[in-house]
Structure 1
């Protein structure tokens, strides 16, 4: 009896020790924890919550009209072995700081470069589109591998590179390549920076990237500097005594696409104290019009921005003889963001401008109100040759 009792006590103690030991190794995290909202002021497509032990990012606008939101848990690498998160509550659980990443849009590059983590990028679809000098060097050195196109990304190469996360860019949720990548155990995280319609809203997506690298404070500082520079330029523009009228876009086949009145470009023009002639429209994207409709409303516009992809007056004239009827053509007041290109032909504007709206606004102020920024050298908008 004594022997059996001792054996029972021994086994009970062993089970208790085992239970305590397992409890120390794994920490069940409830969904309801002490949380704090990160200060997102302008962006509307994502939110960040700082939980006690991890960061939660929710992307609510991965593409225009997205009905599904995506939630990601970012857990410090050293805490990953000792905690368990309910996997059905998150679209991906990722250890931070991330060491290997694939990105899929050139708009992702400037944020990573500003945060000093561009060296974590191991793959990109259509690397010729990249204009950043630092990123181009990484491409040439073979660190950033070519992955085909975003619509048909080379999944075999992605699996071979074995990134911890792919930052996806999509117009919907039907990218089969992303599904293949996810099924292999690699996290796919959607980024919707391109859906934002305000200049500072787009720029604030640097805060989306920061938690992946535990760089939140640095992202806050960088964005604050951009916000201040943009606000100062906007205030400066209000000193202009005249509001020049502005026309945008050009013909594609038989349709002239102008920027909608609630679009990113229209907001820049408003903040630059210009009279954009389609500012009263509610469109957040472009508006398709006939040449006759644009001539009727925009023939006397003082300035014309982004005449399709044309970069010289000769190209404009050859594209359509009716272009010569516009006052901005005869006065040589046409400016394009398609002139400045990277080494492989990528447009610098579409890569860098979303993250540096302060530079875009200063470009426009210099062009529209030259007396306000007389010695400024534009970064993106250049006069047609």
Structure 2
């Protein structure tokens, strides 16, 4: 609009300017309204957000990938020597199922589920979603006080044995997903559940070969509950604590020798040199006597072989099912000849049990390798963690 101060506009020119100004304003308002309308329309058409990308660093058995409208979890190692992978699509509730072939499609966030291994429970509790657990096989083996209370109050149904879960009970529970555990792809119970429309997802945390690799499976659970940030924070804390403890142990001037395992029916079972237990012993700055072995599982040796190599070992850790020195002597009088026996340097996790007899180590240790490492350092390097209270391992009685 043109303003004049000294020249007088005639009526025609004045009305002409007013009309032009009005037209410009009208056009501007129309464009503004159109822009806002389009913006609002765009907002309404945006697909609901899916889980954020998760970086998996230590675990080798799964990956998490964001797609446009869903999260893709790929389990590459559900059990040792698996010959196939499994893919699972996690979609926000109320959104269409994506195109493609998946072994299961799960709507998130999950409101109720069934898990099948005690190693799954710590992840649920750490993410504060333990109240979603509605069924579990062999509930007697659950040690966590928090989940034990829910079992005792009837909030978690007993499902029988893992290999033959009571399918009728699971169907009645109608969970959003069943987190399965298996040693192969021949579990007929899982196949039956899938036919009823209940998604079954394999978890292979137990097949990981490193302590931090096992613990990182909390990131596998996170997308089911939209808890990615929480999982990342929890795992980062565990990594920091683990590495700090490892550095403290490395600074010790001693490197004691260690033997592990025990006899069972004339066979001494002990960790392979590339197993997760062997990794713990290395990070605790000890010399595991079978560290040069390349097995990732367990070794099966005769008594004489272990006796000859380990009789002078400084420490004997995790002696199988034995909880007392008297039990060892009842099994074999030769045990008294071991240096670790003579010096009372035998430590076990078998004395740390839940209310119904389940071993806490089997349940919680895979999720908290930082605590396991600190336990081992506490006993093998007594001057390193002087103010620490062991969580799993205790002296043999």
The residue that corresponds to 2:90 in the other structure is 74
* CA displacement 1:77-132 (0-9 Å, x = unmatched): 13x2xx23225x11011100001100000000000000000000100000000001
Residue 11 of structure 1 corresponds to: none
1:258 to 259, 270, 280: 270
The match for 1:231 is 243
Unmatched 5+ residue regions in structure 2? Answer: 1-43
CA gap of 1:130–1:35, structure 2 versus 1, over 3 A, is closer
> How far has the Cα of 1:375 moved from its partner?
2.0
1:325-353 CA-to-partner distances (Å, cap 9, x unmatched) read 21111111000011100000000001001
Counterpart position of 2:283: 271
- Once the two structures are superposed, residues 4-49 of structure 1 have per-residue CA deviations (whole angstroms, 9 ceiling, x without a partner) of xxxxxxxxxxxxxxxxxxxx99x9xxxxxx9986310100000000
8 Å CA contact 2:54–2:228 kept in 1: the answer is: no
Cα distance, 1:351–1:35 mapped onto 2, change above 3 Å: closer
Residue of structure 1 equivalent to 2:69: 53
Normalised by the length of structure 1, the TM-score is 0.89
Based on CA coordinates, which of the two structures has the bigger radius of gyration? 2
Q: Is the 8 A contact 1:35 1:49 kept in 2?
A: no
Alignment root-mean-square deviation, CA: 1.7
Partner SS for 1:107: helix
Following the alignment from structure 1 to structure 2, what is the Cα–Cα distance between the partners of residues 41 and 86?
Answer: 29
User: 2:228, 2:208 → 1: CA distance?
Assistant: 21
Distance 1:137 1:321 in 2: 43
What is the CA–CA distance in structure 1 between the aligned matches of 2:97 and 2:314, rounded to whole Å?
A: 62
Matches within 5 A, 1:1-385: 38-78=54-94, 80=95, 83-87=96-100, 89-385=101-397
Tell me the distance in 1 between the aligned counterparts of 2:284 and 2:97.
Answer: 50
Query: For 2:359 and 2:80, how far apart are their aligned partners in 1?
Result: 23
Q: Give the 3 Å change call, closer, same or farther, for CA 361–35 of structure 1 in structure 2.
A: closer
Distance 1:370 1:105 in 2: 34
> 2:27 corresponds to which residue?
none
Provide structure 1 residue ranges, at least 5 long, that are not aligned to the other structure.
Answer: 1-23, 28-33
Change beyond 3 A, Cα 1:35–1:316: closer
Q: Secondary structure at the match of 1:84?
A: coil
**Rounded Cα–Cα distance in structure 2 between residues aligned with 1:299 and 1:318:** 18
Distance 2:202 2:214 in 1: 15
SS, match of residue 225 in structure 1: helix
TM-score (norm 2): 0.87
Deviation sequence 1:215-254 (CA, Å, 0-9, x none)? 0000000000011000100111111101000000001101
Structure 2 distance, partners of 1:366, 1:297, is: 24
After superposing on structure 2, the runs of 4+ consecutive aligned residues of structure 1 that deviate more than 2 Å are 34-38
C-alpha deviations, 1:135-176, integer Å up to 9, x for none?
Answer: 001101111000001011111111111111100000001111
